[in-house]
A and B are shown apart, each in its own frame.
Chain A
């Protein structure tokens, strides 16, 4: 009887995760076709092209030798990212609330940090053909500074992701801690229970401010324009993902869509008190929240250029202050 309940809940949680994953593959297509292409007054790709068809296509491509000092580690990193994101969504399901190690915000923050550190490692390990390795007679007689160390563009991107770890992702974490100040607990079940009793945190002053901060943090951690300095096309081309080919690139593509979905679900858990549960109608709200986030991100990214450090610092500083305000208001 008891084991039956456990196995049932595991099955439900697994179905929830899989459904979330399937929906998440549509999100990049929605962003590209219905937001970017519409704003740019063109037809755009079909809905399934960027999110589903591109990864499947990459699955069928030949696996090439990766140009990297530690190819093994470099290849593991996207898989690690994917596992991290999967763990995140598992932690958010109500079935996992019974596991204290997973169901606290500390675990969520830790998992998000792993994701960010992966970018640093990816950038440092990628040695693409597009910069130093391009066969061009650079260091010849008469050239400037022949004895300087040479960096790949990915190294720059790696350094930028370090910078993003130190201050860039502050807003997101502050926003995550705003609900704690009201629920007075770092455990997700308590936060959800508090909201079911007192109404969603989103509709309080502190929650509303934190939601804005969360949205900006969401764009930062997804590296979407304008915060995409670690993969800005105008200088570092694709940054950490430069060397991924074939199935590893497919995983990179899938992770991005999945991550969009998971962060949307995270928002609905923390700010609306609705954990993803396939058996309940409230699951629709999770999907709608994820879609709203994708829509808003699409609109913002279509209308803004990439930020350099000059714009990034004030923006993040401002958002961080807003986040602090949210926490303070929540504490009062």
Chain B
């Protein structure tokens, strides 16, 4: 199946939902065009929470701009500050200490864990399965406490700074030990959950085959991140990032691109994250966590791509006497909106919200981006 064809072109009525809706964790407007509860077309309106962060970043000193990028998103805040620092580091040629790289990776993977857990919990909540949702939230709390332990805050840790990580975020033996023990607890809890989840035939019948996204279509829509990997395309930017050179992990793929593949995909990827964190704990080198010997100079536009929990994140700006110019940020959800609209087609109305959720939307991230019209 390459392309989903709507069963008919009759549009009986339109059901708008949002901007405040129980199935959405963030404000967006979605209009479903349905025929007898079968969605024929969906229109997602974003821009509801446009705040203009890139505009605020323009002209700020780069250190301040880095701190500001965190406020783009409350879920993947660490990824934003990481990539923003990375952009400047690439441009200025800063060599960051090995230990700082490891801590960044630990933070990045912890964030991936909490983001994926949030995804699973939100997915179960949209399925109206309160019990599963609460179990995952309970597991997620362990990860949140670890993030708070390293970063000092539950959301928006401000871990990366230019040239390394904040000294506050350095990990000592006690922290590493707690990290190690909690990873065991998370793995145990998650294994139990996944077994229970896959064995539940009612839930399986509800999610199998729903919102399928064929992989040809996924590539055509330029879908990114786990949503793309769930359609069977093994594309993970972490394999090309120098930060992950010393780590051994698998790129998880799932065959179908439906809600089940997506949920299982996230769960399996969480195990890989746990694996990466364990390797980091075992091999973390000694040394300082931040290097201060670098010089600021003007640069051309610098670009940096990293893999964040939701896909590929792109930051780019130029530096002009230490200030940020021409800032552009492209978040993964921007690319996935097409997939969300596409996955809804031909599904029951109750499943349609699930189809949007399966692409892991983060419209607060997305809502400062400009639309690129390809002609």
Contact = CB atoms under 8 A, between A and B. Distances in A.
Contacts of A138: 16, 29, 31, 45
B31 A305 contact: no
B43 A234 contact: no
A112 to B, nearest CB: 25
B198 to A, nearest CB: 14
Q: B124, B125, B202: which has the most chain A beta carbons within 10 Å?
A: B202
Interface stretch (B106-114, B318-326, B346-354): B346-354
B169 to A, nearest CB: 32
Contacts of B129: 303-305
B205 interface: yes
Contacts of B354: 234
A170 interface: no
Nearest to B207: A305
Contacts of A305: 124, 127-129, 202-203, 206
User: Max chain B CB contacts within 10 Å: which of A40, A160, A228?
Assistant: A40
B243 interface: no
A305 B138 CA distance: 19
A131 interface: yes
A117 to B, nearest CB: 21
Nearest to B125: A234
Name which of B14, B41, B202, B352 has the most chain A CB atoms within 10 A of its CB: B14
B170 interface: no
B15 interface: yes
Nearest to A131: B16
Contacts of A134: 16, 18-20, 29
B14 A226 contact: no
A7 interface: no
Contacts of B157: none
A136 B33 contact: no
Contact of B128 (A155, A232, A309): A232
A145 interface: yes
Interface in B98-128: 124-128
A211 B340 CA distance: 43
Interface in A127-167: 130-132, 134, 136, 138, 143-145, 148-153, 155-156, 159-160
Contacts of A136: 16, 18-19, 29, 45
Interface in A41-72: 41-42
Contact of B17 (A42, A144, A235): A235
A204 interface: no
Nearest to B205: A311
Given A148-B13, A149-B14, A234-B23, A156 B131 contact: no
A309 B138 contact: no
Contacts of B205: 310-311
A130 B20 contact: yes
A292 interface: no
Given A145-B14, A151-B13, A234-B350, A130 B21 contact: yes
A151 B14 contact: yes
A124 to B, nearest CB: 14
Contact of B127 (A151, A160, A302, A306): A306
A302 B133 CA distance: 11
B128 A229 contact: no
Contact of B206 (A36, A148, A311): A311
B130 interface: yes
B361 to A, nearest CB: 15
Nearest to B341: A144
A207 B126 CA distance: 37
A155 B13 CA distance: 10
A156 B21 CA distance: 16
Interface string B198-222: 0010110110000000000000000
A135 B205 CA distance: 37
Contacts of A306: 127-128, 350
Given A134-B19, A145-B41, A302 B131 contact: yes
Interface residues of B, number: 43
B359 to A, nearest CB: 16
A153 B17 contact: yes
A233 B127 CA distance: 9
B177 interface: no
Interface string B167-208: 000000000000000000000000000000000101101100
Contact of A233 (B20, B29, B128): B128
Contact of A145 (B11, B127, B134): B11
A8 interface: no
Interface string B12-54: 1111111111110000010101000100010101000000000
Nearest to A135: B19
A145 B41 CA distance: 10
A205 interface: no
B38 to A, nearest CB: 9
A40 B134 CA distance: 7
A237 interface: yes
B350 A304 contact: no
A237 B18 CA distance: 11
Interface in A27-41: 36, 39-41
Contacts of B203: 304-305
> Which of A132, A143, A159, A305 has the largest number of chain B CB atoms within 10 A?
A305
A234 B124 CA distance: 10
Contacts of B135: 40-41
A295 interface: no
B220 to A, nearest CB: 20
Nearest to A42: B134
A307 B29 contact: no
B350 A143 contact: no
A156 B29 contact: no
Given A225-B128, A303-B129, A309-B37, 10 more contacts: A40-B134, A41-B134, A132-B16, A134-B18, A138-B29, A148-B11, A149-B14, A150-B15, A235-B17, A237-B21
Interface of B: 11-23, 29, 31, 33, 37, 41, 43, 45, 124-131, 134-135, 138, 200, 202-203, 205-206, 348-354
5 contacts: A134-B18, A151-B14, A234-B127, A305-B202, A308-B206
Interface of A: 36, 39-42, 130-132, 134, 136, 138, 143-145, 148-153, 155-156, 159-160, 225-226, 228-229, 232-235, 237, 302-311
